[in-house]
Amino acid sequence: MIAEAALGLLPDPSLLIGDRRLAEASGGRYEHIYAATGRPTGTIPLAGEAEIDLAVAAARAAAPGWASLPGDQRRNLLLRFASLLEQEADTLARLSVIDNSIAIGIAKYGPYVAADSFRYNAGWADKIGGEVISTWPAAALDYTHDEPYGVVAVIVPWNGPVYAMGMVLGPVLAAGNTVVVKPPELAPYAVLRLGELFLQAGFPPGVVNIVPGGPAAGAALTAHPDVDKIHFTGSGHTAQHILANAAKRMTPVQLELGGKSASLVFDDADLDAFSGQALAGIVNNSGQGCINPTRLLVQSGIYDAVIERLRGIADVLTVGDPTDEATVMGPVVDQRAVTRIMGMVGRAGACGARLLTGGHRLGGALADGYFIAPTVFADVPPDAELAQTEVFGPVLAVTRFDTEEQGVAIANGTVFGLAGYCWTQDLKRAHRVARSLTVGNVWINGFTGIPASVPFGGNRQSGYGRLGGIHGIREFLRPKNVWIAL
Ligand code: NAD
């Protein structure tokens, strides 16, 4: 099984610094494992401090030219890159499958979604300006000029690297910053291919530098004195290290972190519409998504009916070879993830949770990969580990609630604040719940992805700052105020 033939598509794993490729680096080499088979795909060089220094220097050297390039030229380069992304969509999707074993049926959308974000942000590149402000008491002309930060360090996650590159590099580059990207060691290939496409599109060398590396490279990058801003997508634990590093030089940081998002299903919900997305939280990316609704909060009147539907849906899901179009769910990313997830599954019963389906690894032809059956627990107490801690795997926690106030309180009752979902046909309730959820993004009666035009980000331990829309552009610009006596 598993199209190892796709390995022929793997890009040159060398670091991209300016217009140079480094086949060896001082951080050693990383053996990448294909999660669907547990077999190695190859090794990639890892950046150490020396290469991080080189990459930041290349980005610094390119920064003045990129910042002063007329907006229409930055716009056109971003548009050209978006077209290349679409031309390469098939290869990029297949590389994404090798990267993290995401099912091809989902992976194939990644390049198009990323291209859309580059296009959207290209539209801002030629509209960056400032404002004229009235001042007193002296007669004066006062205006602001929105300027890029300079060099932005970007650490992208392994669960959706192509998608994340679009979401983050779209605004970072459109705003006129240069960038050093550290792709995840677990999923390096598609991002490395994107590096080649940036040069092919005609981006000046040094505007985009790509340096695969592990935690040491990440630490060196985020502690670097010549980095002007940091974007990090990843876990709260790593974010704390990054913030501590950044604090030494007061480098501003934008954080997109984890979540434990709740989907509130009210008695008046359209159950047929809901059923189509009932298990999205654990099926999409094998549950390895920051915004996945991994808690299902169901009102008492329909609780038993929903439980019955969940059991039926879970039992017919196609789990297996991620290169097969019929597969809806592949494996989780590595053995470490299996151990963590199965540990949480094993402990869930002790707090009173009732296993409805799943709860085990898959064997047979899938035994060598990191496959876990779609798992649903009912009657999960709101304070249980399964309801409070990010599993990052295909495990759904279902909890019963009685009143709207109680449901909202349970939804808000974690340290996270990334996304919230609500299923109801009562318009007033929909708006009330949307206002009451202490999260960055709310979806009512469905989910179709994150449009490039909307602000996206979290509250509390899900991070801060926003990507997407004009908010994403502003995140990577800072206004300079100019006052002129008249
Ligand atoms: P992680 O924090 O373990 O690692 C992320 C990256 O940080 C890796 O590239 C790693 O090499 C690097 N790193 C590790 N130690 C570092 C250090 N001390 N300094 C700098 N960099 C360091 O996260 P992960 O397991 O790769 O990703 C999963 C997490 O990311 C989950 O919590 C998930 O919810 C979150 N996530 C959030 C979003 C979002 O948009 N909010 C999107 C995807 C993933």
Residue 234, domain CATH = 3.40.605.10
**Options 51, 88, 185, 290, the catalytic residue:** 290
pLDDT, tens digit, for every residue of 380-422?
999 999 999 999 999 999 999 999 999 999 999 999 999 999 9
Is residue 33's pLDDT more than 80? yes
In a domain, 156, yes or no: yes
Q: In this structure, are residues 27 and 48 in contact, taking their beta carbons and an 8 Å threshold?
A: yes
Is residue 159's pLDDT more than 60? yes
Q: How confident is the model at residue 1 (pLDDT cuts 50, 70, 90)?
A: very low
Q: Are residues 123 and 144 in the same domain?
A: yes
Q: Are residues 166 and 315 in the same domain?
A: no
| Of 164, 105, 99, 174, the residue nearest 333 (C-alpha) | 99
Q: In what order do the strands lie in the sheet with 419-423?
A: 354-357, 375-378, 395-401, 293-299, 261-265, 419-423, 441-444
In a domain, 454, yes or no: no
Residue 290 annotated among the catalytic residues of the structure: yes
Task: State which of 159, 165, 286, 441 you would mutate to test the pocket of ligand 1, scoring each by most atoms of that ligand within 8 A of its C-beta.
Answer: 159
Q: Tell me, using a 6 A CB cutoff, whether residue 241 lines ligand 1.
A: yes
| Of 211, 205, 242, 246, the residue nearest 227 (C-alpha) | 246
The pLDDT value given to residue 311: 87
Classify 440 as helix, strand or coil.
coil
pLDDT, tens digit, for every residue of 306-330?
999 998 888 889 999 999 999 999 9
Q: Tell me, using a 6 A CB cutoff, whether residue 416 lines ligand 1.
A: no
In a domain, 455, yes or no: no
Distances (CA, A) of 136 to 130, 139, 477, 486: 19, 7, 26, 12
Q: Tell me, using a 6 A CB cutoff, whether residue 257 lines ligand 1.
A: yes
Instruction: Give distance in angstroms: CA of 97 to centre of ligand 1.
Output: 19
Instruction: Give distance in angstroms: CA of 238 to centre of ligand 1.
Output: 6
Of all protein residues, the one whose alpha carbon is nearest to atom 20 of ligand 1 is 218
Task: State which of 156, 232, 238, 450 you would mutate to test the pocket of ligand 1, scoring each by most atoms of that ligand within 8 A of its C-beta.
Answer: 238
Under DSSP, the state recorded for 211 is -
In a domain, 231, yes or no: yes
- Mean pLDDT of all residues in 245-264: 97
In a domain, 449, yes or no: no
The pLDDT value given to residue 3: 53
Of all protein residues, the one whose alpha carbon is nearest to atom 39 of ligand 1 is 256
The pLDDT value given to residue 448: 87
Is residue 473's pLDDT more than 50? yes
Q: Are residues 89 and 153 in the same domain?
A: yes
In a domain, 450, yes or no: no
Q: Are residues 437 and 471 in the same domain?
A: no
Q: How confident is the model at residue 338 (pLDDT cuts 50, 70, 90)?
A: very high
In a domain, 416, yes or no: yes
Q: Are residues 253 and 265 in the same domain?
A: no
In a domain, 453, yes or no: no
Q: Are residues 195 and 297 in the same domain?
A: no
Q: Are residues 352 and 209 in the same domain?
A: no
The pLDDT value given to residue 5: 58
Residue 276, domain CATH = 3.40.309.10
Range(s) of the domain holding residue 231: 5-257+460-485
Residues in the chain, how many? 486
Q: Are residues 207 and 267 in the same domain?
A: no
Q: Are residues 250 and 289 in the same domain?
A: no
Reported pTM: 0.96
**Options 256, 390, 404, 475, the catalytic residue:** 256
Q: Are residues 199 and 294 in the same domain?
A: no
Of all protein residues, the one whose alpha carbon is nearest to atom 12 of ligand 1 is 215
pLDDT, tens digit, for every residue of 8-21?
899 999 999 999 99
Instruction: Give distance in angstroms: CA of 399 to centre of ligand 1.
Output: 28
pLDDT, tens digit, for every residue of 108-118?
999 999 999 99
| Of 372, 374, 379, the residue nearest 351 (C-alpha) | 379
Based on the structure, what is the number of domains in the chain?
A: 2
Of all protein residues, the one whose alpha carbon is nearest to atom 16 of ligand 1 is 215
Q: Are residues 363 and 282 in the same domain?
A: yes
Q: Are residues 249 and 266 in the same domain?
A: no
- Mean pLDDT of all residues in 354-372: 97
